[in-house]
Structure 1
C-alpha cells in the first residue's frame, strides 16, 4: 500500500498546529518542506517566498488555508 502524498494544504495546516514542524521550518524552511515530502513545485514556492502564488493555489478550492509568512 502506497503512503498518502502530503499536500501543500496538509503542510500548511500541520505547520500551524505542530510546534516541532514550525521550529524546523523557521530554522530551514526549504529542508523542512522537502523532508515533509512536498512536491518540488511547492518547495520552490517556499524557497522563493512566493506567497501570492501559494495563495492562488487555493483560490478555486473549497479549502480555506492560512498562509503565514514567518
Structure 2
C-alpha cells in the first residue's frame, strides 16, 4: 500500500445529494480540515466510476461489521 500524497486535502464526507435526472449529475460535499466546505457536482458516469474505485480500494469489512450494518 502506498501513502497518500500530501497534495491531497484532508477532508471528511459531508453529504451526497439526490441524483438529478434532468442534468445527469449528483452532488458531493466534503468538510475540509481548514473549516471550508468543498462541493462538487459530477455526472452519472463519473459517480459510478467513483463508487467502483472506492470499493476496489477499500479493504473488505469483517463479517461482524456487515452484520451490525444490517440491523
Q: Return the TM-score normalized by structure 2.
A: 0.29
Q: Answer 1 or 2: which has greater helix percent.
A: 1
**Structure index of larger Rg:** 2
Q: Answer 1 or 2: which has greater strand percent.
A: 2
Relative contact order (alpha carbons < 8 A, sep ≥ 6): 1 or 2 greater? 1
